[in-house]
Structure 1
Amino acid sequence: MKDRDEILGVINKIMLEMFEIEAEQVTLDARLYEDLDFDSIDAVDMIVKLKEITQRELKLEDFKAARTVGDVVESIFRIMNP
């Protein structure tokens, strides 16, 4: 995953498969907790899945400030492109 569009596509797939959230809801501006009804367990589950996909060490601290899907995309982008 080298670009933001590819990362967003992976997140869309995760959201649909794991949380039954349709792709049209998963925009860069979508707020995880308010718009997508995430809770802390959902966030951890998503990070675990992203770790499997990226084969990178992902830490919860890297995502603590993430409030939107765009924040998650940026966090993954920084990890994948050091």
Structure 2
Amino acid sequence: MTREDIILKLQSYLEELFEVDPADATLDASLYEDLDMDSIDAVDLVIKLQELTGKKIAPEDFKSVRTVGDVVDQVEALVSQ
């Protein structure tokens, strides 16, 4: 899975789950400020990402995630393991 694939899938999830316009889900967009997500939304997103990667995502791996780019980086790291 390429970085571009991850970005497109993430934008799709954000649109499907949280009604975020894919154009707003830029790499530097803040999940909490720009996209109006909260901690419950973050849990829902992690569940979808676990389905995508087929790997368990530890909550501490996502504690430092603040932007869409951070999510992409974490998913990319998981996929490459």
TM range (shorter): over 0.9
State the aligned residue count. 81
Unaligned runs of 5+ in 1: none
Q: TM-score, normalised by structure 1?
A: 0.94
The one-letter code of the counterpart of 1:10 is K
* Helix, strand or coil at the partner of 1:29: coil
2:75 matched to which residue of 1? 76
Once residues 59 and 3 of structure 2 are traced to their aligned partners in structure 1, the CA distance between those partners, rounded to angstroms, is: 20
Unaligned runs of 5+ in 2: none
Contact map agreement 2:50 2:57 (CA 8 A) in 1: yes
Q: Deviations over 1:13-69 (max 9, x none)?
A: 100110010110000000000100010000000000111121111111111100000
Q: TM-score, normalised by structure 2?
A: 0.96
2:66 matched to which residue of 1? 67
Contact map agreement 2:6 2:75 (CA 8 A) in 1: yes
Residue identity over aligned pairs, in percent, reads 46
What are the equivalent positions in structure 2 for 1:2-17 lying under 5 Å apart? 2-17=1-16
Which stretches of structure 1, 4 residues or longer, exceed 2 Å deviation after superposition? Answer: none
Once residues 5 and 60 of structure 1 are traced to their aligned partners in structure 2, the CA distance between those partners, rounded to angstroms, is: 24
Once residues 6 and 61 of structure 1 are traced to their aligned partners in structure 2, the CA distance between those partners, rounded to angstroms, is: 24
